[in-house]
Structure 1
């Protein structure tokens, strides 16, 4: 994606683009000459928002591009993304200024993403010249993080198992001078991660937990925890086939955490970063964990299993308990956790949960500013009783018989494993774009991490 944005010095005879609207189109076309005017008239072009037209320019065989905006600017935040498919390959430069140009360029680059691991590329895409006053290196940092997250989610489980996911984490941190360890198989029991082991033990691919750090140990501690369930059959509470189709994306929380970690390390933010990812496959075999089992946890709480298809919160609970032991300054977890979140808010608007009102306000403000939509939902304590168990400290699903508030009760369950850290925020993401739109090609998606990169940058860079 970064290759879709270039400086003017790199451009090869760039084609000019003129932003027009219904009020300005006639004036702009008049400057381009009679041939352009005839072409615009023949195509009935009026500068409608988002509509593109290639026209002959004044000099010989040259062409120009008209791009429709509304009266105040771009028709939508990532509207420039539509140019990726509207224009032939080549270099282009805007000759008229645009508002929110950085978000516009970001939308163009995000639309240039292609996952070509298993098929040939569709050919070269257009490139857009970046104005001199735009921080291109920061844009590259963001784009690289988004691309990493999308690539990981789009990779199927036969090529991205627990071992490969842990290897991707190891590689990322080694590239930036970080360090850590991967705890594998039976060692999880000895090291105090019984629920990670229980969820992943039925797979031929051994469960593991990756724990890596980077940065100055004296700097503010920022810890990221990601759900790394590389495929979710549902376990013994097996999913129907239709519900398994997208389960390669169940490690979307881990993928997004790694994308965010990539941004933080590439930008060399002044924090001590820690990333914890349980990497498991929720499979079925004779030793799979069962509904009704009672599992110990790292926290010491006993957990009754209400449904093996709610495995993500179990592995996150052990990981969050580990993270909470050192009381980081900021603790973030991300997970493709519940279908209930999608029922409530749809695929494009992930909910987040925190008891820290100041942190929630910061997330909300930066979410809007970065066009990275997020919506706060409450950790509604009266619903905690829905997690009551008659034989264990807690059940991990709603046992009340009232089948509501699935995302909230999942967040409440996780909250029982974070007691020291006050600045904790949980994101229940979808990690997938079902329908192509500007800035968001269909497939694996990064959600919330551009906002969080801005948050961490602003919070700690000063």
Structure 2
């Protein structure tokens, strides 16, 4: 089968293709016209979606393409199911593109897989196996499963996941290229791994539950980022912590009014079982702080409030450490990914008050009320050092599209893996 050839041109399309048409066809393929485009990546993405909707299964990028142009095509052309194949343009970017594409495809597949196929243990195992495949003997793995979580004191993951027949898991992957078991841990990545979120007894509507297989998008994103970093030659010791559970209803599920006691002494009243992501991340952040790492990044599809604020174009960035926040934003800018800061102040710790515990896990208002994304970040700040030094929280509003758009296919995006990988290298 001959590949469908796609090239770029700064010339306008012939008039028969329409006024300022971004795409024209010829006998062997298509030309994307970027000459008048105010956003070249968006124009390429829209053209790639058009080509994919024609069910063209093999494309070859020909002529002059730079890295970002090829990446924009790949992000938009690569659909969730039965994706086509891409042959990269003949330039020096091929190896780098293959590394990025492998990480993107891995991340997207994890998120797009059905919740039946992706149990908490399956998520943890697949993430660990992929990192081990990339890092070899530089990687060690530890998994705490089911009732052992309660015995170890990881109360958030245990309680959120105990309503399911499939047990919750805390995964710890240690990538240590130094070969020294006593080496400083340079960074910790913490990912929310809720493989399906029914909302628990604070049950979601059917419509609200439909896309909740994506609620482990944070776990997939930080795994994809670490894998990309390893492929790029990362020489820092990094730990990956995935907090994996299914949030389901049963006679053994956690309930509204329960009070959880965490390892750091914080007590949390459950006022909304659908605010479960922050409960599992709290365990991950406590463990991350135990390592003494100067950089902790957590990532989660945490709040609808972040999506209201950011749409599906940006990931929200929170930090009480100005330097860490600025470096995260600089990493995103360097990688042409859209991140944007939202406010987090010490007073946000107290925005979920409780009469029965040191804090509640949310408020009684739907979605956490006004400032819900910042309030969730404030809750998490209770589980890192008091100043939040070196901690960055990412609320991944752009991780998943429930329906296709003119520029992006339906499903997971893998946006963020590039920025986090760069942050690991540069921090």
What is the TM-score with the length of structure 2 in the denominator?
0.88
Q: 1:444 aligns with which of 379, 394, 412?
A: 412
Contact 1:220 1:272 in 2 (8 A): yes
Q: 1:264 aligns with which of 229, 246, 249?
A: 229
Q: Distance in 1 between matches of 2:127 and 2:31?
A: 44
Q: CA 1:44 to 1:313, structure 2 compared with 1: closer, same or farther past 3 Å?
A: closer
Deviation, structure 1 residue 68: 1.2
Q: 2:391 aligns with which of 407, 415, 424?
A: 424
Q: CA 1:309 to 1:16, structure 2 compared with 1: closer, same or farther past 3 Å?
A: closer
Q: Provide the residue aligned with 1:248 in structure 2.
A: 213
> Are 2:80 and 1:112 aligned?
no
Q: CA 1:92 to 1:240, structure 2 compared with 1: closer, same or farther past 3 Å?
A: closer
Q: Matched residue pairs, number? A: 413
Deviation, structure 1 residue 342: 0.8
Q: CA 1:318 to 1:49, structure 2 compared with 1: closer, same or farther past 3 Å?
A: same
Q: Provide the residue aligned with 2:256 in structure 1.
A: 291
Q: Distance in 2 between matches of 1:74 and 1:103?
A: 15
Q: Distance in 2 between matches of 1:103 and 1:438?
A: 19
What is the TM-score with the length of structure 1 in the denominator?
0.82
Q: Distance in 2 between matches of 1:252 and 1:16?
A: 31
Q: CA 1:370 to 1:304, structure 2 compared with 1: closer, same or farther past 3 Å?
A: same
User: Equivalent residues in 2 for 1:134-283 (5 A)?
Assistant: 134=93, 136-175=94-133, 176-177=135-136, 178-215=139-176, 216=178, 217=180, 218=183, 221-283=186-248
Cα displacement string for residues 36-89 of structure 1 (whole angstroms, at most 9, x for unaligned residues):
xxxx46x2566x36222316xxxxxxx574431124x77422533424643856
Q: Equivalent residue of 1:183, what SS?
A: strand
> Are 2:23 and 1:21 aligned?
no
Q: Distance in 1 between matches of 2:6 and 2:377?
A: 50
Q: Equivalent residue of 2:394, what SS?
A: strand
Deviation, structure 1 residue 441: 1.7
Deviation, structure 1 residue 357: 1.4
Cα displacement string for residues 95-131 of structure 1 (whole angstroms, at most 9, x for unaligned residues):
4x45xx2110111222332333xxxx47x55534232
Q: Equivalent residue of 1:237, what SS?
A: coil
> Are 2:305 and 1:345 aligned?
no
Q: CA 1:325 to 1:405, structure 2 compared with 1: closer, same or farther past 3 Å?
A: same
Q: Provide the residue aligned with 2:360 in structure 1.
A: 395
Compare CA radii of gyration and give the structure with the larger one. Answer: 1
Deviation, structure 1 residue 250: 0.8
Contact 2:6 2:32 in 1 (8 A): no
Cα displacement string for residues 333-365 of structure 1 (whole angstroms, at most 9, x for unaligned residues):
011111111111112212110122122222223
Q: Distance in 2 between matches of 1:399 and 1:13?
A: 56
Q: Equivalent residue of 1:77, what SS?
A: helix
Q: CA 1:392 to 1:93, structure 2 compared with 1: closer, same or farther past 3 Å?
A: closer
Q: Unpaired runs of 5+ in structure 1?
A: 1-10, 26-39, 56-62
Q: Unpaired runs of 5+ in structure 2?
A: none
Q: CA 1:378 to 1:64, structure 2 compared with 1: closer, same or farther past 3 Å?
A: closer
Q: Provide the residue aligned with 2:25 in structure 1.
A: 53
Q: CA 1:386 to 1:74, structure 2 compared with 1: closer, same or farther past 3 Å?
A: closer
Deviation, structure 1 residue 454: 2.0
Contact 2:191 2:300 in 1 (8 A): yes
Q: Distance in 2 between matches of 1:15 and 1:200?
A: 49
Q: CA 1:89 to 1:294, structure 2 compared with 1: closer, same or farther past 3 Å?
A: closer
CA RMSD of the aligned region, Å? Answer: 2.7
Q: Distance in 1 between matches of 2:213 and 2:6?
A: 42
